[in-house]
């Protein structure tokens, strides 16, 4: 098989699409109604039932590390808006797989410009 391995953001889009289609699995992970955030409702079930189908491991902490490396923000902590346990990225939007190419992995946090600094409050790029 010579198909390229999907990048993490594309894979995450696929997970959310597949679980939404399943119905029961949407109780484990799903998009929130706004379409700009997703939530992992049942982390243990996500690691056990869903992650092994898409990743070579079922380590939830490793998944969270990937979210961090791609600059996803976790909602409901401190001053970050959104429901607790939800995640968002300015370029990760439901039904907009074309924008996933803009979700980049941070190589060096001290020298990299954050995707969040490139987006104005109204959602337009700077």
Give the pLDDT confidence score for residue 80 in this predicted structure.
65
With a CB cutoff of 8 Å and minimum separation 6, the contacts of 56 are: none
The single residue listed with the structure tokens 């995707």 is 115
The string of pLDDT tens digits covering residues 84-98 is: 889 999 999 999 999
Give the C-alpha separation, 25 to 7, whole Å.
22
10 Å CB burial of residue 119 (0-12, 13-18, 19+) is: middle
pTM metric for this prediction:
0.80
Q: Residue 85's pLDDT is what?
A: 83
Q: What is the pLDDT of residues 46-87, one digit of tens each?
A: 999 999 999 987 899 999 999 999 999 998 766 667 788 899
């Amino acid at each position: 098989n010579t198909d390229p391995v999907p990048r993490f953001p594309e894979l995450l889009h696929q997970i959310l699409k597949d679980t939404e289609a399943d119905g029961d699995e949407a109780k484990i992970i799903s998009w929130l109604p706004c379409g700009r955030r997703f939530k992992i409702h049942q982390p243990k079930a996500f690691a056990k039932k869903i992650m092994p189908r898409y990743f070579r491991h079922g380590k939830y902490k490793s998944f969270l590390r990937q979210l961090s490396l791609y600059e996803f923000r976790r909602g409901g902590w401190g001053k970050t808006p959104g429901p607790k346990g939800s995640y968002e990225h300015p370029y990760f939007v439901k039904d907009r797989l074309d924008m996933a190419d803009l979700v980049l992995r941070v190589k060096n946090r001290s020298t990299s410009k954050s995707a969040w600094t490139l987006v104005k409050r109204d959602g337009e790029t700077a």
